[in-house]
């Protein structure tokens, strides 16, 4: 008998028919003797509908009131799922984040979980009930309803699994696991049976949208085994775990991630004085703009060119800030480019294999793809390229690192 926390996203509970299917799935586990806690999102489209209503009142709704409103989406789902379970003879009870007492800070719309009171859940589980908990929400020390930001139900699921010391946290979604790359771009991508938290964290931060990055961080911190599964197809999914398998067959690279939402800014002819990087990036940080990759080149005339990337949504704001900085420090010009993309190779196997970066650069050179920026860490290499070459780059790297699925007979 195991204690399992199962999380179902918006598409998995998007209609009454699907909620009934989820109830059937939960019942199977319960009939198998497992203790089950289920975390659910709002029905697909519901959170957007609620935000749309709020924006009809005010273009910038007060965050506290917005949280009160959008948290109702999950409240509907937990009640419906509990009803569907009870109809099947499965004792079940639903709770909002406030009722469980998922304590968060007071950062409305993007709160962080501080503590979970698991006593009520344990009492229900001991009594043989399935506990259905609203994802994405909590309560602060003043009793205000808070929400955890987009994708926050994943974090709720992992946090509950950590608090309850669950045997596994299962994230049910519309894909059947984590793939070596996006199958829509790389038809030969393969589902991974297992991946480490480190690798998944890199994949999530580099554009893989399977899991919310905070949930992976949480799972890694508390060593909660995570499994990504398809909501309506049977299969083993992908297990995300702390273990690095010491195996002769451990691949060097686990996956190829990419991100189209990048923009590049360059400030040219900057006087090369101490503290220049802070003078450039300080105002960017103050404008709440996150910087990703950074490259600095020193010219022969004692000036420097300073290039960095930001999310494409922040590009215009970053450009305005940088133009002001250029005037203040006497730089020559500011230029930008939104037609770029980032491609990354990820794998813990890199630690024990030399020449991974050069193999990556060789594969791109063979396709005539120019590299504009490079960033490395212990388990990843990222490059910035022209966006028009993105799919070619991803497919060629997938092949170069022998990640392609073997051809089926007759192909």
- The reply, when asked if residue 7 is annotated as ligand binding, is yes
Count other C-beta atoms under 10 Å from residue 246's C-beta: 7
Q: Which of 196, 160, 161 is nearest to 178 (CA)?
A: 196
Annotate 352-369 with b (16+ C-beta within 10 A) or e (fewer).
Answer: eeeebeebbeebbeeeeb
In the prediction, which pLDDT does 247 show? 43
Name the percent of the chain lying above pLDDT 90.
75
**DSSP SS3 for 292:** strand
Render pLDDT for 132-178 as a digit per residue (tens, 0 to 9): 999 999 999 999 999 998 778 999 999 999 999 999 999 998 888 99
Annotate 398-408 with b (16+ C-beta within 10 A) or e (fewer).
Answer: bebbebbeeee
What is the distance between the alpha carbons of residues 348 and 34, in angstroms, rounded to a whole number? Answer: 33
In the prediction, which pLDDT does 3 show? 96
Render pLDDT for 278-304 as a digit per residue (tens, 0 to 9): 999 999 999 999 999 999 887 777 888
How open is the CA angle 206-210-211, to the nearest 5 degrees?
85
- The reply, when asked if residue 10 is annotated as ligand binding, is yes
371 — phi, psi (to 5°)?
Answer: -95, 125
Q: Is the pLDDT of residue 77 over 70?
A: yes
Q: Is the pLDDT of residue 352 over 80?
A: no
Question: What tokens does 63 get?
Answer: 């965050």
Q: What is the topology classification, in CATH, of domain 1-173?
A: Carbamate kinase (3.40.1160)
Whole-number average pLDDT of the chain: 91
**DSSP SS3 for 272:** coil
- The reply, when asked if residue 356 is annotated as ligand binding, is no
In the prediction, which pLDDT does 172 show? 94
SS3 content of the chain, % helix, strand, coil (to 5): 40, 30, 35
What is the distance between the alpha carbons of residues 41 and 45, in angstroms, rounded to a whole number? Answer: 11
Q: Which of 266, 291, 269 is nearest to 375 (CA)?
A: 291
- The reply, when asked if residue 11 is annotated as ligand binding, is no
- The reply, when asked if residue 173 is annotated as ligand binding, is yes
In the prediction, which pLDDT does 248 show? 39
- The reply, when asked if residue 136 is annotated as ligand binding, is no
- The reply, when asked if residue 74 is annotated as ligand binding, is yes
- The reply, when asked if residue 290 is annotated as ligand binding, is no
Question: Is residue 3 a contact partner of residue 166, using CB atoms and an 8 Å limit?
Answer: yes
**DSSP SS3 for 87:** helix
- The reply, when asked if residue 174 is annotated as ligand binding, is yes
Q: Band of the pLDDT at 350, cuts 50, 70, 90?
A: confident
In the prediction, which pLDDT does 246 show? 47
In the prediction, which pLDDT does 324 show? 95
Question: Is residue 322 a contact partner of residue 267, using CB atoms and an 8 Å limit?
Answer: yes
Render pLDDT for 353-387 as a digit per residue (tens, 0 to 9): 878 999 999 999 999 999 999 998 889 999 999 99
What is the distance between the alpha carbons of residues 289 and 299, in angstroms, rounded to a whole number? Answer: 27
Render pLDDT for 8-64 as a digit per residue (tens, 0 to 9): 999 999 999 999 999 999 999 999 999 999 999 999 999 999 999 999 999 999 999
For residues 183-212, average pLDDT = 85
For residues 397-401, average pLDDT = 95
Q: Band of the pLDDT at 407, cuts 50, 70, 90?
A: low
- The reply, when asked if residue 179 is annotated as ligand binding, is yes
What is the distance between the alpha carbons of residues 39 and 303, in angstroms, rounded to a whole number? Answer: 55
Question: What tokens does 231 get?
Answer: 């909501």
**How many angstroms from the chain centroid is the CA of residue 50?**
23
Question: Is residue 204 a contact partner of residue 147, using CB atoms and an 8 Å limit?
Answer: no
In the prediction, which pLDDT does 134 show? 98
In the prediction, which pLDDT does 411 show? 47
For residues 179-206, average pLDDT = 88
In the prediction, which pLDDT does 349 show? 83
This prediction has a pTM of 0.81
């Amino acid at each position: 008998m195991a204690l399992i926390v199962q999380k179902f996203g918006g598409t998995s509970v998007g209609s009454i028919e699907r909620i009934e299917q989820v109830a059937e799935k939960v019942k199977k586990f319960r009939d198998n003797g497992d203790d089950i806690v289920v975390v659910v999102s709002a029905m697909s489209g519901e959170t957007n509908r609620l935000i749309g209503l709020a924006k009809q009142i005010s273009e910038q709704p007060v965050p506290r009131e917005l949280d009160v409103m959008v948290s109702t989406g999950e409240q509907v789902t937990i009640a419906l799922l509990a009803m569907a379970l009870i109809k099947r003879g499965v004792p079940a009870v639903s709770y909002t984040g406030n009722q469980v007492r998922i304590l968060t800070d007071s950062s409305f719309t993007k709160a962080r979980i501080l503590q979970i009171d698991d006593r009520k859940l344990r009492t229900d589980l001991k009594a043989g009930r399935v506990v259905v908990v609203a994802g994405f929400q909590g309560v602060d020390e003043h009793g205000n309803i808070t929400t955890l930001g987009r994708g926050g139900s994943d974090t709720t699921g992992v946090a509950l699994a950590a608090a309850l010391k669950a045997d596994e946290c299962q994230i049910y979604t519309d894909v059947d696991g984590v793939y070596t790359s996006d199958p829509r771009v790389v038809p030969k991508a393969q589902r991974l049976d297992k991946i480490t938290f480190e690798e998944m964290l890199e994949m999530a931060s580099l554009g893989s949208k399977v899991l919310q990055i905070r949930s992976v961080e949480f799972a890694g911190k508390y060593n909660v085994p995570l499994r990504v599964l398809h909501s309506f197809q049977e299969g083993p999914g992908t297990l995300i775990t702390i273990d690095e398998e010491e195996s002769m067959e451990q691949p060097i690279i686990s996956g190829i991630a990419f991100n189209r939402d990048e923009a590049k800014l360059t400030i040219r002819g900057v006087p090369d004085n101490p503290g220049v990087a802070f003078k450039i990036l300080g105002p960017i940080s103050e404008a709440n703009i996150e910087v990703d990759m950074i490259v600095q080149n020193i010219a022969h005339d004692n000036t420097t060119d300073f290039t960095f990337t930001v999310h494409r949504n922040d590009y215009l704001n970053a450009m305005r800030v940088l133009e002001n900085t250029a005037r203040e420090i006497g730089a020559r010009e500011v230029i930008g480019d939104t037609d770029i993309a980032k491609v990354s190779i990820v794998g813990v196997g890199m630690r024990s294999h030399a020449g991974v970066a050069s193999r990556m650069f060789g594969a791109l050179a063979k396709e005539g793809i120019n590299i504009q920026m490079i960033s490395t860490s212990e388990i990843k290499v990222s490059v910035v390229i022209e966006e028009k070459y993105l799919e070619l780059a991803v497919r060629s790297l997938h092949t170069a690192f022998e990640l392609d699925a073997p051809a089926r007979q007759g192909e």
